[in-house]
Amino acid sequence: RVVGKTSLRGLWFLVPVVLLWASTPLLVSEVSKGLSIWEANALISGFSTLTLALAVTAFGRWPALRALRGGQLAALLGLGAGANFPYTALYYLAFALAPEAAGEANIINYLWPLWVLLLSVPLLKEPLTWNKVLGMLIAFAGVYLLVSGGNWIRFRAENLLAYASAASGAVFWGLFSVL
């Protein structure tokens, strides 16, 4: 059934995506207790690849994949290896470094939209307006309040490596999103 231009079938795909994405901090924190970050990344990437292959098969999308040419396929693999893989490794590393701060690391990871804005300026020639700068400053201030425990003066450094890892991952996801 189609409602406006949106199919209800398409909306049902959102349910597992939202559930899986929302459970990521908990799942990765648990997986990284028994596995190295690289093993966890390989395991989860393998699961994702298998799930994608099943979906491509179920919906008959293999011809579209076979239609990709060498340069297109190389670009996709480059994006995965050069942006998505480092993002995932840094994101998982944040949870492994400070499982007790998984929620904070996850919020810090959501700096990626700011990196999309910043990276769009040199890569896509987007203008950097005052509204964008103001929005980014407010977002960075919010993250600072988060890691400082709500105190503008005192900075909590006990989970700094985990926070830095999550923030670095956000840069790679922003790059992946822009490219």
- For the segment 45-59, what is each residue's pLDDT rounded down to a tens digit? 888 889 888 988 988
For residues 139-177, one letter each, b for 16 or more C-beta atoms within 10 angstroms of the residue's C-beta and e for the rest, the string is eeeebeebbeeeeeeeeeeebeebbbbbbbbbbbbbbbe
Q: What pLDDT sits at residue 88?
A: 87
pLDDT in tens, 148-177: 777 766 666 788 899 999 999 999 999 999
Show the tokens assigned to 105.
């690391």
pLDDT in tens, 14-55: 888 788 778 877 777 777 778 888 888 888 788 888 988 898
CA-based nearest residue to 48, from 11, 80, 83: 80
Task: Say which residues have a Cβ less than 8 Å from residue 123's Cβ, sequence separation at least 6.
Answer: 178, 179
The whole-angstrom separation of Cα 115 and Cα 124 is 13
Q: What pLDDT sits at residue 4?
A: 57
pLDDT in tens, 132-152: 999 999 988 888 888 777 776
The whole-angstrom separation of Cα 44 and Cα 50 is 10
Task: Say which residues have a Cβ less than 8 Å from residue 74's Cβ, sequence separation at least 6.
Answer: none
pTM of this structure: 0.76
Q: Is the pLDDT of residue 1 over 60?
A: no
pLDDT in tens, 64-117: 888 888 888 888 888 888 888 889 889 989 988 888 888 888 889 989 999 999
Q: Cα 81 vs. chain centroid, distance in angstroms?
A: 14
